[in-house]
Chain A
Amino acid sequence: MKPLLWPCPASAGEPSREYALQFSASGCATLLIVPALFDEGNRMRRLTVEVQRRLADEHGIASVLPDLPGCNESLADLALQTPASWQRAMIACARQLGATHVLGVRGGSLVTPSGYPTLHYAPVTGASILRQMLRAHVLAAREAGREERREDVLDRARREGITLCGHNLGADFITAFEALEPAAEASILAQGTLGGSGLWLRAEPSDDPDQADALALAIAGWIEGEAA
């Protein structure tokens, strides 16, 4: 496992350097993993890295897990990002780090770069992610004694951007994100095939070695199938 920095095209101004976690391996495939988004990203991170470890050690598949600009360790301003800038970043990362295949995890499936064999693990629409974040926002406001309606919050977010569950999202991000769907040409890996329930559902970030085994095996099988 090796942390590295890669040059990322900036949405405005100078290119920035973003963080990625790289696992080297003996085989010739390199998998770019676009991480799950927002809170799901935190809940899925350990499983994602455990899958990288298994891919390298047991299946000879190298992988790289970059940060999306504005997320995780990134110093970029999240409020300036859009789904398009995220996708540009992932295209640049795939090119620079020599990706041969791409995996999108949950909402990461919305911004996988085109032009690579692509697998989406439990993909989800932008609308669905946004709906849940808006609901959490409304519930938190209510706990704080403020009554807000989801529709009003969304209207305001579309006009002026919003801090949603701790994430600063610009108006351009919101309008693009709510219409976003995973690319239809990607292969889909459904949670039901892995055994156990999706770790993104957990209230607390968690781990599941059996799911990591099953997910790594399914990804390795898919990469092998792509080569055949």
Chain B
Amino acid sequence: MAEDTDQILRAILTDVLGLAPGQAASFEADTGLFGHLPELDSMAVAGLLTEMEDRLGIMIDDDEIDGEMLETYGGLLGFAETKTREAKNAQA
């Protein structure tokens, strides 16, 4: 499950950032995102979060969005994994 979330998240970033196939595979936990990539502005982040909701089957409240979670790939993945686990538990 955790691996799936990782792959889905890399696929979403590939789509949002227009990366070449496979480029997102090189993302490490400390790869910088929001604040590091100029094209990732608030509009793009909104799109990214909406896409995460749709593809991971989660709901993200505005309160949950903070700079730390968006700053690195590891931060975003940790958040996504927690949310997918919660969503799965809520279903069970």
User: Are A203 and B46 in contact, with the CB atoms below 8 A?
Assistant: no
Cβ–Cβ contact A203 & B16, under 8 A: yes
- The answer to whether A140 and B42 touch (CB under 8 A), given A135-B50, A197-B15, A202-B15, is yes
CB of A95 closer than 8 Å to a CB of B: no
Task: Tell me, in angstroms, the Cα distance from A79 to B29 when the chains sit together.
Answer: 44
Does A39 touch B at the CB level, under 8 Å? yes
Given A202-B15, A202-B16, A204-B18, A136-B46 contact (CB < 8 Å): yes
Q: Is the CB of A165 within 8 A of B43?
A: yes
| A159 interface residue (CB < 8 Å to B) | no
- Cα–Cα, bound, A39→B16 (Å): 14
Q: Is B30 an interface residue (CB 8 A)?
A: no
Whole-angstrom CA separation of A136 from B18 in the bound complex: 19
B10-50: CB near A (< 8 Å → 1, else 0) gives 00001111100000000000000000000111111111011
Across the interface, do A139 and B47 meet the contact criterion of CB distance under 8 Å? Answer: no
Inter-subunit contact B47/A206 (CB<8 Å): no
Residue numbers in A under 8 Å from B44 (CB-CB): 203
Which range holds the interface residue count of chain B?
10 to 19
Please give me the residue from chain A that is nearest to B17 by CB atom: A203
Residues of A contacting B15 in the complex (Cβ-Cβ under 8 angstroms): 197-198, 201-202
A224 within 8 A of B: no
Q: Determine if B47 and A201 form an interchain contact, defined as CB atoms under 8 angstroms apart.
A: yes
Instruction: Name the residue on B nearest A205 (C-beta).
Output: B18
Q: A202-B18, A203-B39 are in contact. Are A132 and B45 (CB under 8 A)?
A: no
Per-residue B-contact encoding for A184-228, CB less than 8 Å = 1, 0 else: 000000000000011001111010000000000000000000000
Residue interface mask B65-83, A partner, CB < 8 A = 1: 1000000000000000000
**B4 CB–A CB distance under 8 Å:** no
B62 CB within 8 Å of chain A:
yes
CB neighbours of A149 from chain B (8 A): 62
- List residues of chain B with CB within 8 A of the CB of A202: 15-18
Assembly CA distance A128 to B14 (angstroms): 22
A136 and B16 contact, CB distance less than 8 A: no
Task: For the complex formed, measure the closest distance between the CB of A3 and the CB atoms of chain B, giving whole angstroms.
Answer: 28
Per-residue contact bits, chain A 38-52, to B (CB 8 Å; 1 contact, 0 not) = 010000000000000
Which of A135, A165, A198 is close to B62, meaning CB atoms less than 8 Å apart?
A135
